[in-house]
Chain A
Amino acid sequence: MPKIERNATKIGGYITLKRKYTVFEKIIGTLALPVTMYLIMMIACYANGKMYYGTWPMWKTVLVDIAVSTTCALGIGLQFKSGRFDFSGGSIMLLAAIIAGTVSKNNGNNKVIFAALCLGICLALSLVVSLVYVYGRLPIIIATIGMALLYEAITTLIYNGAGINLVSNMQLKVFSSYPLALFPFIGGLITYIIYSHFTITGKQAMLLAHNQQVAVNIGINEKRNVIISYIFSGIIFGFATMIYASQGLHRAAFSSLSTVGSLFSNILPVFIGLMVGKYCGDTLGIIVGATTLSLMSYGLTTVFDAEMGSAISTIITGIFILAINVISAQGKVLTSIFKNKLKATK
C-alpha cells in the first residue's frame, strides 16, 4: 500500500494531489505578504521621522490605490487566468475615460452619466475586441495589439486629441477619493466573483484554460465563452475607468501602444494573486497583491521624495515579481530541499 501524505485526500478511491491547508495556514499564507510589507515600511518611515504612516489619512490614500489597482488587475486577471494575454485593456480604459469624462463635463458633471458611460463604453469596446478575436481567428496577442492600436488612434482623433483632465473637477473626482472609490472597487469585485463562481461560463472558462482541446471536444462553445468573458471583463474595466478617469490628467495616446504600460504595472497583483490564491482563492489573492504593492509604493514615496520613491518602488517591484515567479515555479523543489535539510539535521 502506498503511504498517503498527511494532507493528501482520498476521494472515490483516488488520491488527490491538491494540498489541503488548515485554517491557521490559510490565514498566515494570506496575510504574510501585506503584513510583512506594512511592518517593513512602518519601520522605514518611523526611522525617517515620518510618523503619519499607519494613520487614517494614509489608509484613505492607500485604499484608493488598492481600489484602482485591484479593479484593473481583476479585469486583466479574468482573461489572464483563461490563458489570454490581453494588450487592449489600457486603451479601452483610456478611450472610455476620455469620452465619458468629456460628455459628463459637458452635461453638468453628472456622476450618474459618468458612471454609466464608463461601464457602457468599456463593455462595448471590450465586446468589439472579443468579436475581432473570435471571428478574425487571430492569436490573442495580435488581435489585442491591433485593437489597442485602433483605440489609441481614436483617442488622438476625438476632441482634437485633447485627452481628459479631471484634476480640478471636484464633482467627478469623488470616484477617486474615499469613500466613493469603494463603489467601483466593490462593483468590480462582485462582477469578478459572479463570473468566476456563479456562472457556467466562468466554470467552462477554467476548463478551456486547463485543456482547450478537451473542453471543446466535450461540447463547450468556445466562441460564446470568450464573448461572454469579455463582456464581464468590460464591465470590470468600466468600474476601473471610473477611478482611473477621475484620478487626473490623461493625454491621448500619441505613442503606439503607450497604454500597454498600464497593463504591465497592473498585472503584478495578478501574479501575486495567483500565487497567494492557493490559501485564499484568486479574488482575495489579487486584493492581497494590490494591498502589498500599494503599501510598498506609499512607504517608499514617503521615505524618499515622490520621484525617487517611485523609481525605487519600480525597481523593488521588479525584483519582487521575479522572486514571486521563481518561488511559484520552484516551490516544490525549494520545499523538498528544505524538508531534506530538516531530515538531515534530525
Chain B
Amino acid sequence: MNGHEKEKIIRHYIKSNIFGVAAYGGLLVCIIVFSIVPPFFGESIWTITKLSTLISDVIVMALMSVGAIFVYTLGYMDISIGKQVGLYATLMVIIGNKTGTLLWGILLSLVISLFIGLINGATGEVLKIHPIVSSVVIMMVLGGVSSIMYNNLGSRNISLKTIDYRIFKNPIFMLIVLITELIIITYLFNFTKLGKYAKAIGANPIVAQQSGINLIKYKIICYLIMGLCVVVASIFQMGYTGSASDSTGTGFEMNVMIALILGGMPLSGGMRSKVSYAIIGAFTLSLLNIGLPLIGVKPNQVYIIKAIIFIIVVLITCRKSKGMLPR
C-alpha cells in the first residue's frame, strides 16, 4: 500500500467517524490541557481530592446519560428526568426517615419509574402523540406533586436523620456502580436485539415496523431502562448530601442533553448512536467544570467557555454540509 492510499484510507476513516473523532478528541484535549496548565497555577487535577471531586461531579450525570442512550437512540428525549430525580430523592429521604432504611424508598421509586416509563413509551404509539409531549406532561405533574409535598412538609429542604449514607460518597463505590451500569447497558445496546431494534426504530420507524419490530414493546423497554438508571442516579444524588430539596434535579434533563450532544450523539438517533458518547460527554463536561477553575477561570466565566466549546463541537460534529436546512 503506497502513501497516497494510506492517506485516502485515513481520510475516509476520519470522515465516516467524525462524531467519535471530535468527541474523543475533545475529551483528550481536555485531559491534556488540564494536566499541563494547572501546575502553572500551583494546582493539579491528578490529586486524590480532585479526582474524587471529578467522580462525584460526573457520577449522577453519567448514570443518567448512559441510561438515556436508548431513548435518544429512538430519536426522542425525555425532559421529565430532572423532576423524576427530585421526586425519587424526596421519597427516599421521607420514607428513609420513617422506616430507618432506604430500601422502601428505593423500591417505591422503582415502581414509579416503571409506571412513568410505561406511560412515556406507550403513549406515543397508542395515542399518536409525540413522546416529548407526554414527558412534558409528566414533568409538570411531578413538579406539581413535588411542590405540594414540600408545601405540606413546611420546609424546602429535608435531610436523612438516622441512616448512614457515607457509602454513597465513596468514589470507589461510585466508580463500581458506574462501570457495572455501563457494562450492562453496553451489552444490551450492542449484543442484544433490543439495541439493534432501538437503532432501527430511530433510523426509520416505518421500515422497522414493516420488518416486524413491535414498536410499542421496544419503546416501552427503552423508557423502562432509562427509568431504572434515573433511580440509580437519584440514589447517588440524594446520598451525596443525605438530603433533598424542592430544587433537587432542576435542569438535569438539559445537562443530560448537553452531555450527549457534546459526546457526539446525534439527536435524531438511529444507527450512529453509541453508548460511549454518553460517557465521553459526561466526563468532558465534568472535566470542564473541575478543570477551568484550576487554571484561573472565574466561576461565572466557566459558563461562557462551556457554551463556546459546545458551539464549536456541534459545528464540527452536527453540521449538515449540503441540501436543505436541517430541522
> Contacting A318 at CB < 8 Å: which of B129, B140, B308, B320?
B140
> With A150-B308, A153-B307, A330-B128 as given contacts, are A321 and B133 in contact (CB-CB < 8 Å)?
yes
> Contacting B327 at CB < 8 Å: which of A83, A257, A260?
A83
Is A137 in contact with B319, judged by CB distance below 8 angstroms?
Answer: yes
Is B127 in contact with A150, judged by CB distance below 8 angstroms?
Answer: no
A136 to B310 Cα, complex, angstroms: 13
Q: Does A152 contact B (CB under 8 A)?
A: yes
A196 to B129 Cα, complex, angstroms: 26
Is B325 in contact with A312, judged by CB distance below 8 angstroms?
Answer: no
- Chain A residues with Cβ below 8 Å from B33 are none
Is A329 in contact with B314, judged by CB distance below 8 angstroms?
Answer: no
Is A138 in contact with B314, judged by CB distance below 8 angstroms?
Answer: yes
> Contacting A154 at CB < 8 Å: which of B304, B306, B310?
B304
- Chain B residues with Cβ below 8 Å from A315 are 140-141, 144-145
- Chain B residues with Cβ below 8 Å from A107 are none
Is B141 in contact with A222, judged by CB distance below 8 angstroms?
Answer: no
Is B141 in contact with A145, judged by CB distance below 8 angstroms?
Answer: no
Is B318 in contact with A142, judged by CB distance below 8 angstroms?
Answer: yes
> Contacting B326 at CB < 8 Å: which of A139, A314, A318?
A139
How distant is A76 from chain B, measured CB to nearest CB, in Å? Answer: 13
- Chain A residues with Cβ below 8 Å from B134 are 322
- Chain B residues with Cβ below 8 Å from A222 are 324-325
- Chain A residues with Cβ below 8 Å from B251 are 255-258
* Tally of chain B residues near chain A (CB < 8 A): 48
Q: Does A20 contact B (CB under 8 A)?
A: no
Is B133 in contact with A140, judged by CB distance below 8 angstroms?
Answer: no
Per DSSP, chain A at the interface is helix
Q: Does B257 contact A (CB under 8 A)?
A: yes
Is A312 in contact with B258, judged by CB distance below 8 angstroms?
Answer: no
Size class of the A contact interface (CB-based, 8 Å) = 35 or more
Q: Does A213 contact B (CB under 8 A)?
A: yes
Is B325 in contact with A133, judged by CB distance below 8 angstroms?
Answer: yes
Interface segment, one of A53-61, A181-189, A238-246, A303-311 = A303-311
- Chain B residues with Cβ below 8 Å from A318 are 136-141, 144
Is A326 in contact with B151, judged by CB distance below 8 angstroms?
Answer: no
A254 to B128 Cα, complex, angstroms: 37
- Chain B residues with Cβ below 8 Å from A140 are 326-327
Is B325 in contact with A311, judged by CB distance below 8 angstroms?
Answer: no
Q: Which 9 A-B pairs have the closest CB atoms?
A: A318-B140, A315-B144, A311-B147, A257-B254, A153-B303, A153-B304, A149-B307, A314-B144, A150-B307
Q: Which A residues are closer than 8 A to B by beta carbons?
A: 83-84, 132-134, 136-143, 145-147, 149-150, 152-154, 156-157, 161, 212-213, 216, 222-223, 226, 254-258, 260, 264, 307-308, 310-315, 317-319, 321-322, 325-326, 329-330
